Amino acid sequence: MSASQNPYSAAQLEQARKLGTSTLFEACGIATASVDPLVRTIWPGASVAGPAYPLECSPGDNLAIHVAMEKVPRGSVLVVKTGGFVAGYWGEVLTVAAEAAGVVGLVIDGGVRDIAALTARRFPVFTRGISVRGTIKASVPSVGQPLSFTGTPVASGDLVVADDDGVVVIPAAHVNATLDSGQGRFDKEARIMDELTKGRTTLELLGLSAWRQGA
């Protein structure tokens, strides 16, 4: 993926955000598509969809993030592996740098800080933790290379979708089929909810009538 090329259309990205992570996870059928549920939004209502740009930081060292800022394609979501070491790898300065570089969101299994500033800027950040402790700048394990993020395989160009429910990473080869299947699930659930407002029950609509008491 070049610095000027996004593999997904604006319509696909908007559809992914609208469908949401829970629907997309069920639709893709890949157990490892869901990252560790402890990686959460720092402000309610945050959501993002975009191609992944993976990188790895050494524990307590954020130099790889600074290097990535010169390489990341515009429109990307940074996916930062730290081995679960929680420190303040990211704050307001890197958020401003990310916005200037066209980065649309951050997913990190380490930590961030400057929460008030990140929230005020409405920059989507999904993290394992919050920490006032800063980091050194001494090593760059990898930038832009495939990696395993909390057990989820991530390669450049995979589709990252994150919202209040969590984070999913859909392999690029499965994105079109997942969006189609997800839309089908979304439409079916909309019909079910419409029927519920008319007095029908979930036992009826989901084919669970045999579990009615006394049946």
Binding site per annotation, positions for Mg(2+): 114
Which tokens in the block code for residue 97? 């740098």
Q: Which residues are annotated as a binding site for substrate?
A: 91-94, 113
Instruction: Compute CA 84 distance to the chain's CA centroid, rounded to the nearest angstrom.
Output: 16
| Residue numbering of the annotated binding site | 91-94, 113-114
Terminal-to-terminal C-alpha distance of the chain? 57
Of residues 40, 65, 66, 41, the one with CA closest to residue 55: 65
193: tokens are 């909810």
The CB density around residue 149, as the number of other CB atoms within 10 Å, is 24
